[in-house]
């Protein structure tokens, strides 16, 4: 172990020697210790307000909180759009006022989202609205009025997900018009509203109803303050146990590192990218409780739980209770940077505090704008996972950098983090190359997913050939783990 320390020091010096990123869009001081994270966000689900009311939120733990969510109601006959169900009026009225009384610097955003219980109809409504200029204008005006009336600082579009090329084109137009209207409205206000979007974990949609579909990244970059990437829920319908939110996955595209890299490679600046961290786990019933490792067969989704009221989904607080059972087995997988537990014939993939901390460091050292938790209702009464984010304030960051510094000078390493560093380096074949036309292209992993004959690429270029010229920022991103995990 000790022999690796000089190489880590060499890598860190190499990264510092890189020139700044093109166009000044990203700060390349990856190992400065300060990081660029400015967003520590949380989504509060109004659906679970009875078990986790607004009064239970520890507002100072976050910089931004999302009210999730209002769904879209469309009346094409009368050219009208409604985003306000009357049963949420009391909650909307108290959300921002209550939270800002305890945390005046907090910024709140209102999320307009696909209705999970009627996803097809809800997405069809978004599609119809985005395609019609009159309906787009009605939607935009109604959202601005609603945000201002309830003291929200911003708006969020959580369309999950656009399903055709025309949807993506119309999404770009919607964002352009929304941003323009916000600019006009701001002339009569003290400040402009924030505008964000909650998006698929990768800029390229796959494993959905329609494959080979890319987000309008140019329109996103121009018009949104940032995007929130849903970096979890990777194996919803698996017939084997699987990591639901792995940071790395050498065998497929289903990993947070791949998704974040795809957004960066598509041209979204790191300063406009926020990484999602789940506070929910994915559960299954094992076919044989003696076979309880990742990849072992399952017979069904896990039990319906009180918090989520959905089969196969468990809140972190419920998982924490399971872990108190001495018969439960807990595993931290350093190869994927994920964790799971098994108890009898129940198997649960989730993000433990250690995984959350590793992911936050990944976001920080990738110079992302920050991270968000989904949903904060599922945290325990001590806000255990939410408090992990305080590392980005420096409370644990100094400790990490002290460990890194001591490792370099003393020649010692942490075996678990050392293994994670090895796993990270084994995943560097998703790095960014430029083809002969100058377009960025991210190659597939060495072993493509088996479900499809041809695995989708994160960003498809017009040429199949690549040059050896790499983007220095992304090269630094893939080298930094040598330093980060020592």
- Residues 119-136: pLDDT tens digits? 999 999 999 999 999 999
| Shared domain check, 167 and 221 | yes
Q: Which domain holds residue 226?
A: 31-278+353-395
| Shared domain check, 271 and 200 | yes
**Which residue has tokens 């050219």?**
79
Share of the chain above pLDDT 90, in %: 64
In a domain, 364, yes or no: yes
Question: What sections of 199-273 are H helices per DSSP?
Answer: 217-223, 256-265
| Shared domain check, 240 and 163 | yes
Please compute the mean of the pLDDT values over residues 449-461 and round it to a whole number: 30
The confidence score (pLDDT) of residue 388 equals: 86
CATH number at residue 100: 3.20.20.80
| Shared domain check, 192 and 94 | yes
Please compute the mean of the pLDDT values over residues 156-172 and round it to a whole number: 97
| Shared domain check, 454 and 368 | no
Q: In sequence order, what are the residues at sequence separation of 6 or more whose Cβ sits closer than 8 angstroms to the Cβ of residue 7?
A: 482
In a domain, 65, yes or no: yes
In a domain, 376, yes or no: yes
In a domain, 52, yes or no: yes
The confidence score (pLDDT) of residue 190 equals: 87
Provide the 8-state DSSP code for 340: E
Sheet holding 466-470, edge to edge: 440-441, 433-435, 466-470
| Shared domain check, 459 and 357 | no
Which pTM value belongs to this model? 0.78
Asked whether the predicted pLDDT for residue 29 surpasses 90, the reply is no
Q: Residues 414, 332: contact at Cβ < 8 Å?
A: no
Question: What sections of 346-396 are H helices per DSSP?
Answer: 353-365, 384-388
| Shared domain check, 182 and 76 | yes
**Total of domains in the chain:** 2
Q: Residues 280, 356: contact at Cβ < 8 Å?
A: no
| Shared domain check, 97 and 164 | yes
In a domain, 288, yes or no: no
Asked whether the predicted pLDDT for residue 17 surpasses 80, the reply is no
In a domain, 335, yes or no: no
| Confidence band, pLDDT 50/70/90 cuts, at residue 405 | very low
Decide which of 17 and 96 is more confident. 96
**Distance, CA of 55 to CA of 48 (rounded, Å):** 13
In a domain, 129, yes or no: yes
What are the DSSP calls for 2-57, one per residue? GGGHHHHHHHHHHHHTSPPPGGG-S---TTSSS----EEEEEEEGGGTTTS-GGG-
| Confidence band, pLDDT 50/70/90 cuts, at residue 345 | very high
| Shared domain check, 463 and 364 | no
**Distance, CA of 415 to CA of 485 (rounded, Å):** 9
In a domain, 104, yes or no: yes
Please compute the mean of the pLDDT values over residues 398-415 and round it to a whole number: 33
Asked whether the predicted pLDDT for residue 235 surpasses 70, the reply is yes
């Amino acid at each position: 172990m000790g022999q690796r320390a000089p190489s880590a020091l060499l890598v860190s010096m190499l990264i510092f020697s890189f020139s700044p990123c093109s166009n000044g869009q990203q700060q390349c001081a990856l190992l400065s210790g300060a990081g660029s994270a400015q967003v520590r966000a949380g989504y509060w689900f109004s659906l679970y307000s009875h078990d986790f009311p607004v009064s239970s939120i520890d507002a100072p733990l976050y910089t931004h909180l999302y009210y999730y969510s209002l769904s879209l109601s469309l009346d094409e006959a009368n050219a009208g759009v409604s985003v306000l169900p009357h049963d949420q009026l009391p909650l909307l009225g108290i959300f921002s006022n209550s939270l800002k009384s305890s945390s005046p610097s907090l910024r709140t955003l209102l999320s307009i989202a696909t209705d999970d219980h009627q996803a097809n109809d809800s997405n069809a409504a978004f599609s119809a609205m985005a395609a019609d200029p009159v309906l787009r204008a009605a939607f935009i005006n109604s959202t601005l009025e609603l945000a201002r009336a309830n003291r929200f600082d911003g708006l969020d579009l959580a369309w999950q997900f656009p399903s055709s090329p025309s949807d993506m084109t119309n999404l770009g137009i919607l964002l352009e018009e929304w941003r323009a209207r916000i600019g006009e409205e701001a002339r009569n206000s003290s400040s402009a509203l924030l505008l964000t979007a909650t998006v698929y974990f990768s800029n390229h949609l796959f494993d959905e109803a329609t494959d080979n579909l890319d987000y309008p990244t140019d329109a996103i970059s121009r018009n949104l303050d940032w995007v929130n990437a849903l970096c979890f829920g990777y194996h919803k319908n698996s017939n084997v146990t699987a990591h639901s939110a792995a940071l790395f996955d050498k065998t497929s595209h289903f990993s947070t590192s791949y998704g974040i890299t795809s957004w960066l490679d598509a041209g979204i600046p790191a300063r406009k990218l926020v990484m999602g961290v789940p506070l929910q786990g994915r559960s299954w019933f094992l076919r044989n409780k003696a076979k309880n490792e990742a990849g072992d067969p399952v017979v069904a989704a896990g039990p319906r739980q009180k918090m989520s009221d959905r089969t196969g989904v468990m809140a972190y607080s419920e998982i924490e209770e399971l872990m108190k059972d001495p018969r439960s087995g807990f595993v931290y997988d350093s190869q994927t940077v994920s964790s799971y537990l098994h108890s009898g014939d129940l198997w649960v993939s989730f993000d433990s505090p250690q995984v959350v901390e590793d992911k936050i460091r990944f976001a920080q050292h990738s110079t992302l704008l920050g991270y968000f938790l989904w949903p904060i209702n599922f945290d325990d009464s001590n806000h255990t996972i939410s408090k992990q984010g305080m590392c980005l304030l420096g409370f644990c960051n100094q400790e990490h950098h002290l460990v890194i510094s001591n490792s370099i000078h003393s020649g010692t390493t942490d075996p678990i983090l050392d293994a994670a560093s090895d796993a990270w380096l084994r995943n560097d074949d998703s790095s960014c190359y430029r083809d002969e036309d100058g377009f960025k292209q991210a190659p597939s992993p060495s072993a493509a997913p088996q479900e499809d004959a041809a695995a989708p690429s994160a960003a498809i270029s017009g040429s199949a050939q690549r040059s050896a010229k790499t983007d220095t920022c992304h090269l630094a991103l893939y080298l930094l783990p040598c330093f980060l995990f020592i």
